[in-house]
Structure 1
Amino acid sequence: MTNRLTDTIYSSPIEQMSDFNFDQRVAEVFPDMIQRSVPGYQTILHTLGLLTERYAQAETNLYDLGCSLGAASLMMRRHNTQSHCKIIAVDNSEAMLERCQHHIDSYRGDTPIELHCQNIQDTEITNASIVVLNFTLQFVPPEQRQAILNKIAAGLKPGGLLLLSEKVRDNSASMNELLIDLHHEFKRTNGYSELEISQKRTALENVMKTDTIDLHHQRLSEAGFSESGVWYQSYNFCSIIAIK
């Protein structure tokens, strides 16, 4: 994903702001957008590779739910050492999947990757040893999140792994505002203007509803995971490991 295009989607004043959407414009600049917006993104991907080496089981499926341009799928394929595995990458944006296919075709690997254009609510999870939800669940309506986690837990083999990365909110209102401010400072450091930060925040308001870490653990326990823990957090972004 070298020579990436610069994200300038919100750099000019937008009179009528529409909800954020993973359309062609976002797909074109997504690598730049996520690198400049999500602290620790490369650390999460690197660690997914280490987890794949530990938790992938032979003759199973590895799922990348909300795969965007396929970074997590490619990381799992690079680090999978088990035989007869298949990676199933799912996204509901045709624009993202079109570019995802190009990225996948650019790298060789022994583990096949299948792309499915659908909502993750409609994805069957079967014979899975690893499932990745990398900043995906936050875009699903809150009332549908438990059912998705239930389905993932049911479809994972014993000892299977879920990697759940999310933007979160703190239980304390004042701490939550501090984390938001620090994240905005992170974006300023990466070249985003006040206008860009403000307009993107407005665009995300209706489509991204964040949960507390406590609620994530509660849902995972209810879904049937034996244990879950935060292995990484930077500002209001965290990544959780849950084991079947």
Structure 2
Amino acid sequence: MTDASYRDAIFSTPLDRVASFSFDEQVVACFPDMVRRSIPGYGQILGMLGLIAERHLRHGSHVYDLGCSLGAVGLALAGRLAPEAFALTGIDLSPTMIARARDTAAKESPDHRLDFIEGDIRQVDYQPSGMIVLNFTLQFLPPADRDAVIGKLFDALEPGGVLVLSEKIIARDEAENAWLVERYHDFKRANGYSDMEISQKRTALENVLVPDTLDDHHARLATAGFERVTTWFQYLNFASLIAFKPRAGVNPPAVTHD
């Protein structure tokens, strides 16, 4: 993005009390730098979304980007697809995010149909769509709400449509999870974050970002009715999955539970 942003220094000074993390104006101002230095593979995931859309999106279809932040998914698709190839609606709870997304899209992709609205993705009446993207969004919803959201998105997808779900994950095995977390902290140190910043942000995210295991995600998507789910990307404890809705006339396989 070419709009002005700042280096993430939110947790660079000692805080007497670390407040819960929120996507306020301070976060919005440094968000591009934050995701670049905090989410392994974020740029690669964005780049691949355009290729996925080229392969799986029917010409002229609608796309949702849920928890759209500054609209990076729309810009990624616009970089690969012609203006008439798709229309995208981005939804985010943060009015500041939405305002910046609209401004950036108008400057960088004025010919594409990129619309951004403020809203709660749990409350939206979704229109039929060929592709839905949840990039590091489901993890911020209460765990009790996640099944219903995925079920609602399955219903909104057209037959043959795809859902791309990117999430921070937790490993079921404690030793494996500890190793992944330690290496993730190494990743952040290598990107310029101090131990204090890492610690204070981890405290701020406690009970705000609640990760699931990959098995949890696969099971939830299968239960919703997706016929096939593939983990196409993983970098440490960050992963992206693609789930395929059956085409018309194809019955999804029965889901069994042990």
What TM-score comes out, normalization by structure 2 length?
A: 0.91
Structure 2: runs of 5 or more not aligned: 246-258
1-structure distance, mates of 2:78, 2:170: 32
1:136 matched residue in structure 2: 137
Cα distance between partner residues in 1 of 2:63 and 2:106: 18
2:134 partner letter: L
Identity, % of aligned positions: 43
Give the 5 Å matches for 1:3-22. Answer: 4-22=5-23
Structure 1 CA distance for aligned equivalents of residues 79 and 161 of structure 2: 19
* TM-aligned CA deviation for residue 5 of structure 1: 1.1
SS of aligned partner of 1:116: strand
- Residue 243 of structure 1 corresponds to which residue in structure 2? 244
Q: For 1:137-176, what aligned pairs fall within 5 Å after superposition?
A: 137-176=138-177
Greater C-alpha radius of gyration: 2
Query: What per-residue deviation string (whole Å, max 9, x for no partner) do you get for residues 170-221 of structure 1?
Result: 0101110110000000000000000000000000002100000000000000
Q: Which runs of 4+ in 1 moved over 6 A?
A: none
Root-mean-square deviation (Å): 1.3
2-structure distance, mates of 1:101, 1:60 = 20
Contact (CA 8 Å) 1:170, 1:212: kept in 2 or not? yes
Pairwise CA distance, 1:236: 0.2
Alignment of 1:2-81 (within 5 A): 2=2, 4-81=5-82
Contact kept, 8 Å, 1:53 with 1:81, in 2: the verdict is: no
What is the alpha-carbon distance in structure 1 between the residues aligned to residue 57 and residue 83 of structure 2?
7
Q: Which runs of 5+ in 1 are unaligned?
A: none
Taking the aligned partners of 1:109 and 1:129, their CA distance within structure 2 comes to 22
Name the CA distance, whole Å, in 2 between partners of 1:150 and 1:111. 29
Question: Scaled by the length of structure 1, what TM-score is found?
Answer: 0.96
Letter in 1 for 2:119: Q
- The superposition leaves residues 87-117 of structure 1 with CA deviations (integer Å, 9 ceiling, x where unpaired) of 0100000111111112111212543111110
For residues 44-96 of structure 1, what are the alpha-carbon distances to aligned partners after superposition, in whole Å with 9 as ceiling and x for unaligned? 00100100111222342100000000001111223234846320100000111
CA distance in 2, matches of 1:152, 1:77: 23
SS in 1 for 2:180: helix
